Structure 1
């Protein structure tokens, strides 16, 4: 792939995949990319970084899902009360 395929601003920190050259803004995203797109090439340190990043991402996703569900329940009951009063 060519470097111009990705729009990385000048001076922005970028972590580049050594296997395909794709840049990432965070080291955790690079670890996730390597684990998902290049699993057969990873060494032990990269596998550990992928597992830690995957665990953190799953935890954040679980928290987001609970907050989104809570927001939907609140909105539903608010609309239900408005409908009942009108």
Structure 2
């Protein structure tokens, strides 16, 4: 599957050696290779994919916790505002 990517002029590009698709960050390239070309990767590339994937998973987990905290604060903020106003 090919996605349309746009990289600003003058920015460094990282191109997939398997399909030629460009990426703006090396991490995106590593994730792409692991997800799209997993059967063709060397052991070093598989190891790099697992490292980047774990890091991305941890970042997403932290993001979800932050969003949950914001939603809880909003909920109780509206609840207390409602109880004061009525």
Q: TM-score, normalization: structure 1?
A: 0.89
How far, CA to CA, are the matches of 1:52 and 1:36 in structure 2? 13
Structure 1: give runs of 5+ residues left out of the alignment.
Answer: none
Which stretches of structure 1, 4 residues or longer, exceed 4 Å deviation after superposition? none
Cα shift at 1:25: 1.1
- Name the structure 2 match of 1:48: 47
Cα shift at 1:10: 2.1
Q: Cα RMSD over matched residues?
A: 1.1
Q: How many residues align?
A: 82
Structure 2: give runs of 5+ residues left out of the alignment.
Answer: none
